[in-house]
Amino acid sequence: MLKKFIDIHSHIIFGADDGAESLSEAVALLKLDRDEGAYAVFATPHYGRENIYTPDAAGVMQKFELLKERAAEEVPEVQLYLGTEWYCAWELGSRVLRRDAFRMNDTDYVLAEFLEYGRVHEPWEKISCNLAELKKRGFRPVLAHPERYAALQEEWERVRILHEDGVLMQVNAYDLELNWAVRTRELAQWMAKERLISFIGSDMHGLPPKRPPKMKEGVRWLYEHTDEAYADAVCFGNAEELFGLKEK
């Protein structure tokens, strides 16, 4: 049976970053995500001067509204919400307050990432300090794909340290089952068994050969290797509750 979930991490705002390149591609990605089991999706374009992405907030909102309108016609089973995958610079709190880009459904939760491609990985001290600074500014960090950061792969207990300090974790569902990178996959699975994951996402960037949504195998792994109540919370319950998706 296909399990349903909320995808809190996607790059479907066309032309905003390295994700979808057109409105039609964004809609095609939503259809694929629906077929994987998504019933709600957060559009979270990159934002960070340090990783070269500074899309105009008004322009992102305009494209988001266009996507919502088209999706309502072609993918009515999927509800769309807006957020941002912010680069977690020391100044991130100030950027959020200036509304340079978007919080998760206009809550105090902020999806934040660090550099982790090629040989560019950031040290543990920077990760922990910058997240702490964001919390000082009154925001609630959600760390995007912690399983991919070398500093956390080197010492798994650092994930627990962040979690106990109030940082919530979003794992890419693909990494739970399908990722060929052993260290990434094993850390994601350990986090699940230790109940350190709060959300899942596809981190989809585009149709093949780019990164399409591949969620269902990871979702199935989660239900097979953790208890149902916890899997429900990770797959949809936490997002509904914390990001204000539940009807009052």
| Interval 100-140: pLDDT, tens | 999 999 999 999 999 987 677 899 999 999 999 999 999 99
pLDDT tens per residue, range 195-234:
999 999 999 999 999 999 999 999 999 999 999 999 999 9
Helix then strand then coil, % of the chain, to nearest 5 = 45, 20, 35
Per-residue pLDDT at 107: 98
**Parent domain of 230:** 5-242
What is the total count of domains within the chain? 1
Distance separating alpha carbons of residues 51 and 80, to the nearest angstrom? 25
**Is residue 91 included in any domain, yes or no?**
yes
119: region left, alpha or beta (phi > 0 left; psi from -120 to 50 alpha): alpha
Residue 164: which CATH number?
3.20.20.140
Burial class (CB in 10 A: 0-12, 13-18, 19+), 159: buried
Which amino acid is located at 221 in the chain? W
Distance separating alpha carbons of residues 111 and 107, to the nearest angstrom? 11
pLDDT, mean of residues 171-192: 97
**Is residue 248 included in any domain, yes or no?**
no
**Is residue 52 included in any domain, yes or no?**
yes
Cα angle for residues 244, 5, 191 (degrees, 5° grid): 95
The b/e string for 52-81 (b: 16+ C-beta within 10 A; e otherwise) is ebebeeeebeebbeebeeebeeebeebbbb
Per-residue pLDDT at 50: 87
pTM of the predicted structure, to 2 decimals: 0.97
